[in-house]
Amino acid sequence: MQIAIDQPFPEFSLPAIDNQGNQTTESNDSLKGKKWVLFVYPKDQTSGCTVEACSFRDFKSEFDAIGVQVFGISRDTIRSHSNFISKQELTYPLLADAGGPWLKANGLIYDAKMYGKPITKVARTTFFIDEAGVVRHIWENVTPLDHASAVLDWIKSNS
């Protein structure tokens, strides 16, 4: 992975959709001056990703209370995200890196083997970025269950 703690978060400008169906573009500039969490997950509507996304949904009010915005990102499209948000009643925006060019450029998509066959994997990773756009913490190889709670606890203790 090319993203590092105490370094500026890599430049991005990606379409996003929220639970009201509003489409926006999120970028480093749009988030400047805000604290935010970005969790990278492999695919909408899959079991582990649903557990992780719903965990962030369930703690959203606590993130709001400490002034931290939450975003998810995957290789899925806006349409897929819209369906995922609706089905799981997600309360925060999802960024669409359709096909994964931004994720791949930042080392979050990698080639691996499963049962001897080549596959492409997404590194389930979460970032906490401060108001200056600097990465303050990275969680790698995330286990979806209880992850949002662990992120929230770390932020409360360290910022």
Tokens 């962030």 sit on residue: 56
Pick the CATH number of 13-158 from 3.30.300.30, 3.30.420.40, 3.40.30.10, 3.30.390.30: 3.40.30.10
Cα–Cα dist 10/99, whole Å: 18
pLDDT recorded at residue 52: 97
Where in the chain are the domains? Answer: 13-158
Cα–Cα dist 159/154, whole Å: 8
Catalytic residue among 40, 49, 135, 152: 49
Residue type, 147: H
Q: Which helix (H) or strand (E) holds 4?
A: none
> For this structure, is 54 an active site residue?
no
Interior angle at CA 72, CA 128 and CA 151, nearest 5:
40
Interior angle at CA 12, CA 94 and CA 60, nearest 5:
30
DSSP percent split of the chain into helix, strand, coil, nearest 5: 30, 30, 35
What does pTM read for this prediction? 0.95
Q: Mean pLDDT of residues grouped by 10 in the chain (159 residues)?
A: 92 96 96 97 95 97 97 97 97 97 95 89 96 97 93 94
